[in-house]
Amino acid sequence: MIVVGAGPAGSTAARELAASGARVLIADRAQFPRYKACGGGIPLRTERLLPFPIGSVIEDSVSLLQVTNQGRNRFVKDSATPFAHMVMRERFDALLLDQARRAGAEFRPGTAVRDLEQNGGVRLRAADGFEAEADFLICADGAHSPVGKMAGLGDGIAECPAWEVEVRVPRSKAASYRATALIELGYWPWGYAWLFPKAEVLSIGIVLPPGQGGDMKGHTQAFIDRLGLGSTDIDIQRGHKIRFRRASECIADRNAILAGDAAGLADEFTEEGIFYAIESGRIAARNTLRAMGGDGSLERYQRDIDREIMPELQAARLIGFMFYGMLRRAARPWMLASAHTPFLWNAFFAVQKGESTYAREVARIPVLPSIAARMVSS
């Protein structure tokens, strides 16, 4: 069994497979720990999916959400208890990989897969000449998914650009943002900038619609300037794609499947993907074990993703349509209304904490699909 990619999706699949006694090789082109452009926001519902503590990599936990419209109409919502943890991805991902190795998975870093042959089983070749073969392959190779493309999977999945900057600030400055996630709305036609507090840096970034990748750096700098952080040192800045599976794009065949970002499993309201990466890693492991002991096919994986993850992504997409649609039509009244609509934020915090789901919240508002449909068509 080969897993390509040691991010949250790949490490989770490898851990669960190895823990069930399967022989697993997990290959990644990077040396670990490796940087991943990411806000590092880990909602409590994501932590709940993991059967081991993550306290050693938590840099902060946030219970306050500050929202502005390009610096205007500011309001703060308090969830009373933390709704998300903040991590640096290099440490978080190293922890997940360490758990996979402890469960018995073999890890090969520096293994950039360049060629894939599928002929009953799978045979892959890496840039350094390394070769491996197995009956099954899990492509957890991220949003660009080069290996997924070689397998002919993931065609037609939508994507958008995002940008991440790690700003190094004195500890006293970092402390002034403790426990608070900042969200700046007001980008056209949708998108948001964020500031997530970490122990030594502030993780600042932006996500924008397709085609606006060229504007990300300028918008992020303007956001940093508005925050009064213009003269601080930037540790690292990097862009990356986020992918969104919206319908029935093919993510599985007999002996290869896509998990996590490779499969486009990120939501279109918050653009978060780690929850779905871990969840799909679990579903991938379950299906691989079933295929090993049964009919030898991974094709049922896609049906399981359609049933267990897609309803949540579709609900998040509806909420995103409604939220950004209102913001586009009447920014100031919508900021005022949402500031004074406890239902909205209580529902958001409940989802983040794993006490509810987007699908359940959408089902409570039967008119939401028709409102969202009107916003899309007008």
Ligand X SMILES: Cc1cc2nc3c(=O)[nH]c(=O)nc-3n(C[C@H](O)[C@H](O)[C@H](O)COP(=O)(O)OP(=O)(O)OC[C@H]3O[C@@H](n4cnc5c(N)ncnc54)[C@H](O)[C@@H]3O)c2cc1C
Q: Sign of torsion, CA 362 365 370 371?
A: negative
Q: Interface with ligand X by CB under 6 A: which range of 136-144, 304-312, 343-351, 355-363?
A: 136-144
The pair of structure tokens assigned to 102 is 């402890």
Give the interface size with ligand X as a residue count (CB under 6 A): 40
Contacts with 372 (C-beta within 8 Å, 6 or more apart), sequence order: 318, 321, 322, 325
> Which segment (70-78, 142-150, 305-313, 369-377) binds ligand X by CB under 6 A?
142-150
Least CB distance from residue 294 to ligand X, whole Å? 26
**Considering beta carbons, is residue 33 or 369 the nearer one to ligand X?**
33
Nearer to ligand X, 39 or 325 (CB): 39
From the list 191, 197, 260, 325, which residue makes contact with ligand X (rule: CB under 6 A)?
260
Closest distance between ligand X and the C-beta of residue 50, in Å? 13
CB of 367 to ligand X, least distance (A): 29
- In the list 146, 186, 296, 369, the residue contacting ligand X (rule: CB under 6 A) is 146
User: How far is 197 from 246, CA to CA, in rounded Å?
Assistant: 31
CB nearer to ligand X: pick between 267 and 361: 267
166 strand-pairing partners: 203, 236
> Closest distance between ligand X and the C-beta of residue 373, in Å?
27
Q: Is the C-alpha dihedral spanning 111, 112, 117, 121 positive or negative?
A: positive
CA pair distance 281, 51, nearest whole angstrom: 14
Stretch that binds ligand X, among 166-174, 225-233, 270-278, 295-303 (CB under 6 A): 270-278
Give the CB-side neighbour count of residue 375, counting CA atoms within 13 A.
Answer: 22
Q: Which residues, other chains included, contact 319 with Cβ-Cβ below 8 Å and sequence gap of 6+?
A: 269, 358, 361, 362, 368
Is 233:167 a contact under the CB 8 Å cutoff?
yes
CA distance 96 to 111: 18
In the list 67, 105, 227, 266, the residue contacting ligand X (rule: CB under 6 A) is: 266
Q: Are 261 and 145 in contact (CB under 8 A)?
A: yes
User: How many C-beta atoms surround the C-beta of residue 26 within 10 A?
Assistant: 28
Q: CA–CA separation, 320 vs 130, rounded Å?
A: 44
- Interface with ligand X includes 273 (CB under 6 A)? yes
Of 242 and 318, which has the nearer Cβ to ligand X?
242
Contact pick of 60, 166, 261, 312 for ligand X (by CB under 6 A): 261
Segment 94 to 123, residues that bind ligand X, using CB under 6 A: 111-113
Q: Structure tokens of 72?
A: 């205007």
Interface of this chain with ligand X, residues 199 to 218, rule: CB under 6 A:
205
Nearer to ligand X, 85 or 325 (CB): 85
Joined together, the tokens standing for residue 334 give 């919508």
Q: Of 3, 24, 26, 38, which lies in the binding site for ligand X, with binding defined by CB under 6 A?
A: 38
Spatial separation of the C-alpha atoms in residues 323 and 291, rounded to whole Å: 41
Our finding on whether 82 is near ligand X (CB under 6 A) is no
Shortest approach of ligand X to residue 12 CB, angstroms? Answer: 8
> What tokens does 4 get?
């390509």
User: Which residue's CB is nearer to ligand X, number 162 or number 169?
Assistant: 162
> CA–CA separation, 304 vs 315, rounded Å?
17
Stretch binding ligand X (CB under 6 A), from 31-39, 312-320, 326-334, 365-373: 31-39
Please report, as ranges, the residues that interact with ligand X according to CB under 6 A: 4-10, 27-30, 34, 36-41, 111-113, 140-142, 146-147, 162, 164, 205, 240, 242, 260-262, 266, 272-275, 277
